[in-house]
Amino acid sequence: SAKQHVVRKFLGLLSSHNIPVYLIDPLILGLIDKDIEQIRSSSDGPSPECKYFCAPRDFTTFALLDKAWKHEVELFRNAEKIGFQWLKFLNKDPRLDGMDDLSGTEIPLHYIFKLASHAIHLVVFYERSGNFLWHGPLRLKQHMDRKSVPFRKLDFGRYPGAYEKPELLLVSIDDLKVQIPKNPSSFLEEMSYSRFLECRYREARAFFQLYPDDASIDAVEFRKRAKSLLHLAALTLNNLGVKFWLSSGTCLGWYRQCSVIPYSKDVDLGIFIRDYKADIIPAFQKAGLPLKHKFGKVEDSLELSFQGDDDVKLDIFFFYEEDDHIWNGGTQAKSGKKFKYLFPKFTLCWTEFVELKVRVPCETLQYVEANYGPDWKTPVKTWDWKNSPSNVQYNGVWPVDEWDEVIQIY
């Protein structure tokens, strides 16, 4: 088939330049996943038919690790020689975006190689701080030919994405040797929530122009502790497979200034109650973070607080989803009063924060505004969690006979 032929030529071209690529095409990986056991076991069984690469599509998607190759003009010359047309999509390097006024050369984010009517979409993945891979968005420039490839249908490039470094497997399918993610189904699962948000570095710089950063020893120390607590929390929750995101002050710090707010005194995380696991508390205790208090219960207003080193607290708020909003609860220990914090519905995105790949609400502005009101850009040092938030609602009082369960302080 013509498609198989194009893929074969493309893979041949890249291997002749020693450039390792792997297949990330969701359609083909989906097909492969169905036969994965068989494909794994038969390393080079001849397959008479073109079962995978001939799926009816105008393009096939591959990934390339930036550090695995050197930008060679020769590659493109040779591509042209064997009949490929190619397009390169450059953009600025996000790894330098957070830096004061560095301007590196632009980096390639995507390539399209086209031969006859079939296109190869090559997505370039970059290593980012936080031990993950990142790919950029695909943006057309004005003078570019928009018709040659159905850009809107491409599976990668609408948004930037974040991925774990994949384990690869060399398989032989449709008479072609190709590398694929070792576990295609988990790659596809990962792909479905891979959207990445860059921190708003420019706005953060503007913020620090207005409110110069606190560089005192205390601030430096707190940030260091908060960072290591966040790293520990992320490690613990990731090991349990519990999804979490930056919430409250930690989220505000990321969104507003791309850093930990030095006077915030704690680290705040959010978890959907549907992702709650009973192992969470013992896992943190095992990690050296004793439970400080537990308010509420799984059915209502659950909130956990762990004691980190040197007086830094880790607060975990559990979020409850309703039809048209999401909320989490608060409890005042001495009175048993309950509070409710309302948020508009949100989805989760990845970001990079203090050298960590973590989730944040994609609709961050609405989230932050719900929590901190329209003046979230102005630093407020005295914060009362019962009155200050603009989304707080009074939510009654816990029945006294439940207090032992819903108000636990250690």
Partner 1 sequence: MDEWKPNPIIKPHKKRSWYLAWKYKLMNQRALRKLCQTGAVLFLLVTVIVNIKLILDTRRAAYEEEEESAQEYDDEMLNVEAPRHPVSNKKVLDVEVYSSRSKVYVAVDGTTVLEDEAREQGRGIHVIVLNQATGHVMAKRVFDTYSPHEDEAMVLFLNMVARGRILIFTIKDEGSFHLKDTAKNVLKSLGSQVAPFLSWRDMWTFVGKKGGEVYGEKHAKSPALSTWGDPVLLKTEVHLTSVEDAECHWPDTELNRRRRRFCSKVEGYGSVCSCKDPTPIEFNPDPLKDNKVFDVPVAVIAGNRPNYLYRMLRSLLSAQGVNPQMITVFIDGYYEEPMDVVELFGLSGIQHTPISIKNARVSQHYKASLTATFNLFPDAKFAVVLEEDLDISVDFFSFLSQSIHLLEEDESLYCISAWNDQGYEHTAEDPSLLYRVETMPGLGWVLRKSLYKDELEPKWPTPEKLWDWDMWMRMPEQRKGRECIIPDISRSYHFGIVGLNMNGYFHEAYFKKHKFNTIPNVQLKNVESLRKDAYETEIHRLLGEAEVLDHSKNPCEDSFVPDTEGRVYVMFIKMEQEADFITWTQLAKCLHIWDLDVRGNHKGLWRLFRKKNHFLVVGVPASPYSSKKPPSVIPVYMEPPAKEEGAVAAVAAAEQT
Identify which of residues 67 and 381 has a Cβ nearer to partner 1 in the complex: 67
Identify which of residues 140 and 409 has a Cβ nearer to partner 1 in the complex: 140
CB 107, CB 90: distance < 8 Å? yes
Q: Of the candidates 111, 125, 151, 163, which one interacts with partner 1 according to CB under 8 A?
A: 151
- Counting contacts by CB under 8 A, is residue 103 touching partner 1? yes
Residues in the chain: 410
Q: Of the candidates 12, 18, 82, 99, which one interacts with partner 1 according to CB under 8 A?
A: 99
- Counting contacts by CB under 8 A, is residue 74 touching partner 1? yes
Question: Taking the CB of residue 210, how many other CB atoms lie within 10 A of it?
Answer: 10
Binding mask 227-266 for partner 1 (x = CB under 8 A): ----------------------------------------
- Counting contacts by CB under 8 A, is residue 355 touching partner 1? yes
Binding segment toward partner 1, per CB under 8 A, in 123-131, 340-348, 371-379, 388-396: 123-131
Binding segment toward partner 1, per CB under 8 A, in 90-98, 242-250, 302-310, 391-399: 90-98
Minimum distance, C-beta of residue 389 to partner 1, in the bound complex (Å):
30
CA distances from 149 to 82, 113, 119, 140, 141 (A): 19, 10, 7, 11, 14
CB 134, CB 162: distance < 8 Å? yes
Binding segment toward partner 1, per CB under 8 A, in 47-55, 187-195, 215-223, 386-394: 215-223
User: Hey, what are 129's tokens?
Assistant: 């701080």
- Counting contacts by CB under 8 A, is residue 34 touching partner 1? no
Alpha-carbon distance 310 to 263, whole Å?
14
- Counting contacts by CB under 8 A, is residue 70 touching partner 1? yes
Q: Of the candidates 67, 81, 147, 334, which one interacts with partner 1 according to CB under 8 A?
A: 67
CB 248, CB 342: distance < 8 Å? no
Identify which of residues 143 and 334 has a Cβ nearer to partner 1 in the complex: 143
CA dihedral 238, 242, 243, 249 (to 10 degrees): -80
Q: Of the candidates 37, 56, 81, 142, which one interacts with partner 1 according to CB under 8 A?
A: 142
Minimum distance, C-beta of residue 73 to partner 1, in the bound complex (Å):
5
- Counting contacts by CB under 8 A, is residue 152 touching partner 1? yes
- Counting contacts by CB under 8 A, is residue 131 touching partner 1? yes
Amino acid symbol at 169: L
Beta strands in 298-373 (DSSP E): 300-307, 313-321, 326-331, 337-343, 348-353, 356-361
- Look at residues 8, 10, 4, 1 and name the one whose alpha carbon lies nearest to residue 111: 10
CB 390, CB 371: distance < 8 Å? yes
- Look at residues 258, 137, 262 and name the one whose alpha carbon lies nearest to residue 200: 258
- Counting contacts by CB under 8 A, is residue 209 touching partner 1? no
Q: Of the candidates 98, 184, 296, 329, which one interacts with partner 1 according to CB under 8 A?
A: 98
Binding segment toward partner 1, per CB under 8 A, in 15-23, 101-109, 321-329, 401-409: 101-109
Identify which of residues 97 and 300 has a Cβ nearer to partner 1 in the complex: 97
- Counting contacts by CB under 8 A, is residue 127 touching partner 1? yes
Q: Of the candidates 86, 159, 272, 403, which one interacts with partner 1 according to CB under 8 A?
A: 159
- Counting contacts by CB under 8 A, is residue 220 touching partner 1? yes
397-401: list long-range contacts, CB under 8 Å, 24+ apart: 397/335, 397/336, 397/337, 397/338, 398/331, 398/336, 398/338, 400/336
- Counting contacts by CB under 8 A, is residue 108 touching partner 1? no
- Look at residues 31, 29, 95 and name the one whose alpha carbon lies nearest to residue 66: 95
CA distances from 378 to 211, 263, 373 (A): 9, 14, 10
**Stretch 357-396 residues interacting with partner 1 (CB under 8 A):** none
Binding site for partner 1 (CB under 8 A): 67, 70, 72-74, 93, 95-96, 98-105, 127-131, 137-143, 151-152, 157-159, 215, 217, 220, 223-224, 355
